[in-house]
Amino acid sequence: MMGSKSTLYCFTYELHKHHIFLINLPFIKLIIQSLMTKNQEANAKNKSLSSKIFSNFSSDSNILKAALFATGLSGIVAEYVLSTLATYFLGNSVFQWTMILSLMLFSMGLGSRLSKFMDEFLLEKFVIIEFALSILVSLSALLAYVVSIYSSFNDKLYIYSFELDGTVIYMMSMLIGLLIGMEIPLVTRLNEAYEDLRVNISNVMEKDYYGSLLGGVFFAFIGLPFLGLTYTPFVLGAVNFLVAIGLIFQFRKLIDARYLFLIRSGALLVMAVIIGGFLFADDIINYGEQKRYKDKVVYQDQSKYQKIVVTQWKNHHWLYLNGNQQLSTFDEWLYHEPMVHPAMKLYPGVKNVLILGGGDGCAAREVLKYPSVETIKLVDLDEKVTELASNHPIFTTLNNNALNHEKVTVQNGDAYTYLQKTDEYYDVIIVDFPDPKSIEIGRLFSLEFYKLCYQQLRPNGVVIVQSGSPYYASKAFYCIEKTVAEAGFNTVPLHNQVLTLGEWGWVLGAKSIPQEQLKPTLRSLHFEDIETRWLTHDAMSLITSFGKGLIKLDSSEVEVNMIHNPVLPTYYRNGNWDLY
């Protein structure tokens, strides 16, 4: 039969080849059409089967890679959350971020190593790891605050000289890294049934890295600014949970019956943790926040840069940034008057003033007491601080609504960048930044920064710099003075006793007043024409006078603080704070 069909085909082909058309042979045409139809049906059937097999393989493989993408996203954001918490609880942001991310990567290596001992039930173990990640990530911030509460009731509670809350944060970082490290090899091994090694490794690592990028964007632009440290972890936990549910649904026929009870129980537990935590997280964190402060917390917010807290005692309020006191309404004038008025008085008829930092508005309030002032530019990094000072009744009352005054322009941004780009010149620059505890803040106390200040000041211009405590951080204080002098200023250190802060100080720099005349000129200043609560002519002799230091200090050993040689944060951290 096959032979006759072949003969018929060849015969027909030959006729066609020689342009001979068979018009009166319907039987032969019917046979040819029948054979062609059967051939097309067979090809379509094979194609459909191949497409279905490929679709199944593609779907299974894609959900594995999607799981890794989601894990990369939630894992890296969890580490960012823990790094932010460590900075908040322990300080020194560069150190905390460096160590936590390094420990995470190290733990990922350990997790990868441990995964090689998993020989069977890989899918089931991957789902269980996802559940574990969901719980750990969701509870990361809550655990840190709960431990902080516990520590507040147990003073000086340490584990091998490490603070308990810091120890828990670092342990969580390592656990999360360990689990993520297990997941990547497991997904690679599960996916090898669908892709060859070259494509498999490439796709798996690609999806994990892409997830990390999206996680970073999410944390910077959505998580921290809008969800805060309260709810961001629960969003991440939900991502891991949904990934696990998706895996269970996609591979439900492949899950071993012995693991079904464990997986179902795990799913219910994780769901309960996420929902319960989401409902009660705010109350727990607020309680933990309250325990960090001796007075009642009346306001708190999380900006992109820091935690903002306001507390109340009787009729007075305290402002804290990342747990560090910035001011108190009880005595803030003892800080702001010595910082503002000596510099303003040294430049008669001052018109244009630049305030760098000072987002609370109190320095601007003092500057506005001079009728000659025409413009005040205030540059502060954190818009949430300046919004608080511009709108909240506590601060608008405190700063006399200074930030809403027609002479004041508020610009949110980096002060260093502003000085690099501005073409404006000023008579007085007031530098009111937080203490230089970290490298990023130390950059704003650098030689390069003060040279920019010098450049933007008019010929007789004056700068004054918040410089911390001359007694509790002596080396840091004199490092700032030496750095300001190195930028070309003639300098005089000032200090005053601020009741809620202790002994605090500033460094004043003048471009044109000779060094030998600077201190006598300051001591000759009068303030009768300016409304002050504390500062007087006699007080100028006090704030320009220093007794012997609490520690012996060889000025030749104090280095200039520079961006490429940031010695100031180390000087500050190594100060004699035990006397505080």
Which residues have a catalytic role annotated? 432
Q: Is 251 exposed, middle or buried (0-12, 13-18, 19+ CB in 10 A)?
A: middle
Angle, to 10 degrees, between the axis of helix 2-17 and the axis of helix 26-90? Answer: 100
**Residue 474 · residue 464 · CB < 8 Å:** no
Residue with tokens 């964190």: 285
Task: Report how far apart, in Å, the C-alpha atoms of 46 and of each of 56, 60, 385 are.
Answer: 16, 21, 67
Amino acid at 222: I
**Residue 97 · residue 87 · CB < 8 Å:** yes
Task: Report how far apart, in Å, the C-alpha atoms of 362 and of each of 294, 308, 539 are.
Answer: 24, 17, 20
Contacts of 536 (CB under 8 A, 6+ apart): 527
**Residue 71 · residue 132 · CB < 8 Å:** no
Chain centroid, CA 483 distance in Å: 29
Q: How far apart are CA 338 and CA 540, in angstroms?
A: 9
Rounded (to 5) percent helix, strand, coil in the chain: 60, 15, 25
Backbone angles phi, psi at 149, to 5 degrees: -60, -45
